[in-house]
């Protein structure tokens, strides 16, 4: 891959796409192109066809998708299914028809069955039923993986799918209605901390004689599910690695190979944010998949491993949140 290769990054303003853009630009790539959703509606087949004919990119990285947490997926399954199918189908098909040999499709660990053995291996795809709370999104992403595999088999093109574990980091979505668990916790703990400070209740709970009734942060579920988290800048490095190498397989898991419980995650974020109050778990809310740990041996053998610890990544994310607190994204469905 030459430094002046024309690379189109779909979704370049999102958390993942912007991280990939920053990474490639920092590594000397000089011919990156991207369009905002207002400039190019990726759900519009003709608009995407016209864009490819006009711009003629030489490689494509698909980081564009409608994404969200359990609540958003549960309440808007049609949008998560249909819009993701439209986006990826238009990109994959137009790339293929315009002779593009290198295509990187980004998905999610939710493509694997809910009760698949742990850690999740690539060969577990389509061996069982999916987690109901994000089934629509998962089905769309599975279709994208299979489309890239089919092009790879039938036409010999270097179309590769990367399935990251739960991503977080700079430019994350902190909207409590649509965000994933980690950024949602950061915002909840931060706002609770500010509320306590305003009320003059900044001392730790055990050091105070009286507690206000609403002095707690409520989190969904039991806190028992196990999750793995990958800092988005590490994901960007994995994309660069895939861009610069011709990998032998069509599907690769991207992660750290380490997980922790949601309750342990909450304790870590609470410590980093500096919230001194209580945490209450609403067990009436869904937990989602019991465990999602990625088997990352294929990518490790290929030559890439994650380098950012969870605590370091959360600290970087929280610092970014503080710097952009007044401008973080509110997502409308």
User: Which CATH number characterizes residue 18's domain?
Assistant: 3.40.50.720
Number of domains in the chain: 1
**Residue 95: pLDDT over 80:** yes
Q: Of residues 170 and 175, which shows the higher confidence score?
A: 170
Catalytic residue among 29, 112, 137, 250: 137
Q: Has residue 75 been placed in a domain?
A: yes
Kindly indicate the confidence band of residue 212, based on its pLDDT and cuts at 50, 70 and 90: very low
Confidence (pLDDT) at 287: 85
141 annotated as a binding-site residue: yes
245 labelled ligand-binding: no
In the predicted structure, residue 191 carries a pLDDT above the cut 90: yes
**Concatenated DSSP letters for 155-223?**
H--EEEEEEE-EEE-TT----TTT--HHHHHHHHHHHHHHHHHHTT--S-GGG-S---TT-EEEEES-S
Please tell me whether residue 231 adopts helix, strand or coil conformation. Answer: strand
Task: Find out whether 180 is annotated in a ligand binding site.
Answer: yes
pLDDT at 176: 83
Percent of the chain, pLDDT > 70?
94
Task: For residue 292, name the pLDDT band (cuts at 50, 70, 90).
Answer: confident
Q: What is the pLDDT of residues 235-272, one digit of tens each?
A: 999 999 999 999 999 999 999 999 999 999 999 999 99
Q: Please tell me whether 274 is known to bind a ligand.
A: no
Within-domain flag for 216: no
Distance CA 233, CA 252 (A): 17
The token pair at 286 is: 């869904």
Task: Inform me whether the pLDDT recorded for 146 exceeds 50.
Answer: yes
- In-domain check, residue 97: yes
To the question of whether residue 127 is assigned a binding role by annotation, the answer is no
Say whether 137 is catalytic: yes
Residue-range definition of the domain harbouring residue 87? 7-168+229-257+293-307
- pLDDT value for 331: 44
In the block, tokens 């564009």 appear at: 64
**Residue 11 is assigned to a ligand binding site:** yes
């Amino acid at each position: 891959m030459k430094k002046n290769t024309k690379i189109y990054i779909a979704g370049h303003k999102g958390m993942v796409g912007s991280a990939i853009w920053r990474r490639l630009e920092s590594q000397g790539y000089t011919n990156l192109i991207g369009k905002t959703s207002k400039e190019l509606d990726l759900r519009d087949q003709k608009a995407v066809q016209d864009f490819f004919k006009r711009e003629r990119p030489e490689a494509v990285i698909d980081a564009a998708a409608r994404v969200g947490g359990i609540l958003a997926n549960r309440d808007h399954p049609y949008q998560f299914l249909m819009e993701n199918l439209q986006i990826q189908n238009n990109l994959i098909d137009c790339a293929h028809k315009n002779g593009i040999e290198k295509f990187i499709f980004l998905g999610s660990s939710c493509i694997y069955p809910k009760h698949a053995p742990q850690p999740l291996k690539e060969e577990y795809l389509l061996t069982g039923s999916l987690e109901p709370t994000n089934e629509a999104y998962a089905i769309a992403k599975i279709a994208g993986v299979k489309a890239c595999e089919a092009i790879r088999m039938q036409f010999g093109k270097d179309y590769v799918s990367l399935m990251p574990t739960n991503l977080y980091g700079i430019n994350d979505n902190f909207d409590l209605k649509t965000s994933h668990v980690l950024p949602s916790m950061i915002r909840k703990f931060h706002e609770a901390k500010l509320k306590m400070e305003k009320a003059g209740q900044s001392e730790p709970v055990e050091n105070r004689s009286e507690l206000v009734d609403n002095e707690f942060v409520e989190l969904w579920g039991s806190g028992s599910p196990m999750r793995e988290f990958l800092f988005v800048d590490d994901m960007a490095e994995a994309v660069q690695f895939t861009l610069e190498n011709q990998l032998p397989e069509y599907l690769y898991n991207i992660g750290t190979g380490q997980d922790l419980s949601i309750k342990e995650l909450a304790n870590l974020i609470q410590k980093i944010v500096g919230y001194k109050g209580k945490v209450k778990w609403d067990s009436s809310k869904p937990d989602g998949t019991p465990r999602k740990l990625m088997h990352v041996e294929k990518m490790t053998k290929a030559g890439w491993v994650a380098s950012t610890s969870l605590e370091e990544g959360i600290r970087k994310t929280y610092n970014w949140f503080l710097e952009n607190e007044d401008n973080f994204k509110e997502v409308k469905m």
